[in-house]
Amino acid sequence: MRFSQSFIPTVREVPADATIASHILMIRAALIRQLVAGVYSYLPMGYKSLRKVEQIVREEMDKAGGIELHMPVLVPVDLFRKTNRVEAFGNILFKFKDQHNAELSLGPTHEEIITSLVADHINSYKQLPINLYQIQTKFRDEERPKSGVLRTREFVMKDAYSFHTSLEDLDKTYQKMYQAYHRIFKRCGVPVVAVEAESGPIGGSASHEFMVLTDIGEDQVVSCDHCDYAANVERATRKVADGTAGRLESEVVLKEVHTPHKSTIEDVSEFLKCKPPQVIKTLVYRTSDEQVVVALVRGDHEVNEAKLRRMGGVSSLELADDGTITKLTGAAVGFAGPIGIKPDKMFIDFDVPAITDGVTGANKTDHHFVGVVPGRDFTIEPEMLGDIRNVVEGDPCPHCGAKLKFQRAIEVGHVFKLGTKYSSALHAQYLDAGGKNQDMIMGCYGIGVNRILAAAIETHHDENGIIWPISIAPYQVTVIGLGRTPEDEVSKTAERLAAELESAGIDVLFDDRDQRPGVKFKDADLLGVPIRVTVGQKTLAEGKVELKLRRDGEMQLIDVDGAVETIKTLVGKLMAELE
RNA sequence: CGGGGCGUAGCUCAGCUUGGCUAGAGCGCCUGGUUUGGGACCAGGAGGCCGAAGGUUCGAAUCCUUUCGCCCCGACCA
């Protein structure tokens, strides 16, 4: 490809809207342009890379037994009603009506579509298992698109769905996908760690996320210093010391104090001159079946709703509205405490009983209790105790007890064991060998294709621009001619070299622009093409051209004769490094 | 959804506080010339409904109201 014939509007200045490296560079290197918030055009450079990522994903999915198909973007809203997901999606679902007044949506994901398709056409255990995937654009009306291509309202996803007759069989495919994902990211040159993940209200027994560790990531990964434990903070657990029971014989005296307008942990602890860890945070939740659930955690900790849900054995849970709280406590919001209230259920974090001189709301507006001793002043049954909070830095690892540390990360892939949530709702059943109808057991496996691009740039760049892994670089080689005129020896040689490389099957960007050398070099660095070949007068006089790797800047002279072979070998070597 | 910031040339921004000539700079673009190994130089030129609507005023990029859009922090996130 000739630079002058393509559409590569590089920009010299840092765009005002971008703050993170990948976003800045994707704009500067002419990969993308924003249309509206969270919606981007892919320019030739960006699209070429995107397609290379897609191709790697496709090859590895095929190798792992995936079968590619393509489902519609337009999806009837009713299909999501059948699995109660219209509400679950909430505002992120793009909804509209067609001319016949039928409700349609732009597909945010395709569990329902694939499941109903499979339900219609697969009826026997003999046709299972099957693993179907597509690479397609998804639409989610995110409340806050951000970070360039990392969080958008329209994005490309590889989504795969597998169907099985047994959990063991699902396990096998899950493992295959897990391995395939590692190969995909390796080939893309993106360093990932697989972590235990929260499967969320989507349901399902196990789930792993593939994370790229970087400070600009939106997710928090918790990992252990000493063993290989790693999990999303939503999922991470901690080792709990035995014997956390309170000291019932405590001398501390329970006392009610006046705390006007002090309803937050910070206000209360400042007003009462105590530390947040002394405060017992009392949160009131309501389940979908109108049960009132109270959760107690230490003042400096956060309740983890997924853990609470699991402990309470409920599928949905949300913070109670003010009315419910007032009804329970008889006080304004902000003065709830465990003493004297009668919720349907109460759950207490393991760290609470260890508090010896606690502070809680008094269930009376503008009043708190001090000198609270858990177990003495309110009852703690063993079945109320559990791990219901988010882990914090320094908590003991659940496997080995060493300290947990936190890192930020970008989620680029996610594998789930779904179970039968969708198959039972949409009647995806098969006849087993005994002639009985059974719900199919499902798994699903997603990869954020655009995110791979952003994550690759985020982890591979310097102050001059992108440093592409060769497997997903828009071009493998760039040839720069430094001739004075298009007709001189230097230009002709550059042109011939570019043409020969292209014939040899190499992706070449030939910078044939009538620009000064500096401009071409700067753009070459910015674009991040892994191999740069420069044809200049001085070296050509000795029959040499210059070869430089973007990643290390080392320059070497090679003979023009045989240059194609030399470069081809180098391309092969760089590609092989990513296998 | 809460908090903050910003909309002026293709890009980055000044001008707005304290209303007043024809609305500016750098980069980019066009013409001509000189240059040619890390974003050249000289000369000339094109390019703006100052996000939109309404209002105040003799007069609005500037003041007021409304509205649309974009970015950041937080909340949320199958």
DSSP A290-309: S-EEEEEEETTS-B-HHHHH
Residue with smallest Cα–C1' gap to B36: A516
Å separating the CA of residue A36 from the C1' of nucleotide B51: 14
Residue with smallest Cα–C1' gap to B74: A144
The predicted-structure confidence for A351-408, as pLDDT tens digits, reads as follows 998 888 899 999 998 899 999 999 889 988 888 989 999 999 989 999 999 999 999 9
Strand partners, A444: A161, A416
Q: Which nucleotide is nearest to A544 (CA to C1')?
A: B37
Query: How far lies A387's CA from each of A290, A297, A348, in Å?
Result: 23, 9, 8
pLDDT at residue A200 is higher than 60: no
Å separating the CA of residue A143 from the C1' of nucleotide B74: 13
pLDDT at residue A553 is higher than 80: yes
Q: Which nucleotide is nearest to A553 (CA to C1')?
A: B38
Residue type (1 letter), A547: L
Rounded CA separation A392/A298 (Å): 12
The terminus-to-terminus CA distance of chain A in angstroms comes to: 26
Residue with smallest Cα–C1' gap to B26: A13
How large is the average pLDDT for residues A152-177?
96
Å separating the CA of residue A13 from the C1' of nucleotide B21: 34
Element (H, E) at A406: strand A404-419
Backbone φ and ψ of A74, nearest 5°: -80, 125
Q: Distance between alpha carbon A201 and the CA centroid of its chain, in Å?
A: 17
Nearest to A479 by CA among A552, A572, A564: A564
> What does the block give as tokens for A293?
């659930």
Rounded CA separation A503/A413 (Å): 36
Å separating the CA of residue A43 from the C1' of nucleotide B53: 35
State the DSSP code for A91. Answer: G
Rounded CA separation A268/A370 (Å): 11
> What does the block give as tokens for A343?
């919720």
The CA-CA-CA angle for residues A46, A49, A53, to 5°, reads: 135
Assess contact for A419 and A334: CB atoms under 8 A: no
How large is the average pLDDT for residues A463-480?
98
pLDDT at residue A250 is higher than 70: no
Q: Which nucleotide is nearest to A39 (CA to C1')?
A: B70
DSSP H stretches of helix in A330-481 = 421-425, 449-459
Å separating the CA of residue A489 from the C1' of nucleotide B66: 66
Q: Which nucleotide is nearest to A218 (CA to C1')?
A: B77
Q: Which nucleotide is nearest to A148 (CA to C1')?
A: B71
Q: Given its phi and psi angles, is residue A71 left (phi above 0), alpha (psi -120 to 50 degrees) or beta?
A: beta
- Least confident interval from A272-286, A308-322, A371-385, A413-427: A308-322
Looking at residue A247, its pLDDT comes to 55
b/e code A494-514 from CB counts within 10 Å (16+ = b): bbebbebbbeeebbbbbbbee
The answer to whether the pTM exceeds 0.80 is yes
- Strand B, nucleotides covered by protein (CB < 7 Å): 1-2, 11-13, 26-28, 35-40, 69-78
How large is the average pLDDT for residues A66-71?
98
How large is the average pLDDT for residues A245-255?
70
Å separating the CA of residue A577 from the C1' of nucleotide B21: 67
Q: Which nucleotide is nearest to A138 (CA to C1')?
A: B78
Find tokens 């995909």 and name the residue.
A184
Å separating the CA of residue A514 from the C1' of nucleotide B42: 20
Å separating the CA of residue A355 from the C1' of nucleotide B12: 56
Q: Which nucleotide is nearest to A11 (CA to C1')?
A: B11
> Is the Cα torsion angle A425, A431, A435, A438 positive or negative in sign?
negative
b/e code A158-192 from CB counts within 10 Å (16+ = b): bbbbbbbbeeebbeebbebbbebbeebbbbbbbeb
Q: In angstroms, how far apart are the furthest CA atoms of chain A? A: 97
The predicted-structure confidence for A479-495, as pLDDT tens digits, reads as follows 999 999 999 999 999 99
**Whether residue A129 has a cis bond before it, omega within 30° of 0:** yes
Assess contact for A403 and A223: CB atoms under 8 A: no
Q: Tell me the DSSP string of A284-352.
A: EEEETTS-EEEEEEETTS-B-HHHHHHHHT-S-EEEPPHHHHHHHHSS-TT---STT---SEEEEETTS
Å separating the CA of residue A26 from the C1' of nucleotide B34: 36
Assess contact for A105 and A128: CB atoms under 8 A: no
The overall average pLDDT reported for chain A is: 92
Q: Which nucleotide is nearest to A143 (CA to C1')?
A: B76
SS3 A217: coil
Looking at residue A153, its pLDDT comes to 93
How large is the average pLDDT for residues A542-568?
96
Residue with smallest Cα–C1' gap to B1: A143
> What does the block give as tokens for A210?
């593939």
Å separating the CA of residue A44 from the C1' of nucleotide B40: 29
Q: Which nucleotide is nearest to A23 (CA to C1')?
A: B71
Rounded CA separation A324/A130 (Å): 47
Rounded CA separation A382/A333 (Å): 28
Rounded CA separation A418/A420 (Å): 6
Looking at residue A438, its pLDDT comes to 97
> What does the block give as tokens for A253?
């005296």
SS3 A215: coil
- Least confident interval from A84-98, A167-181, A388-402: A84-98
CB atoms within 10 A of CB A31: 30
Sorting pLDDT into bands at 50, 70 and 90, what band is A243? low
Rounded CA separation A285/A265 (Å): 18
Å separating the CA of residue A20 from the C1' of nucleotide B18: 38
State the DSSP code for A445. Answer: E
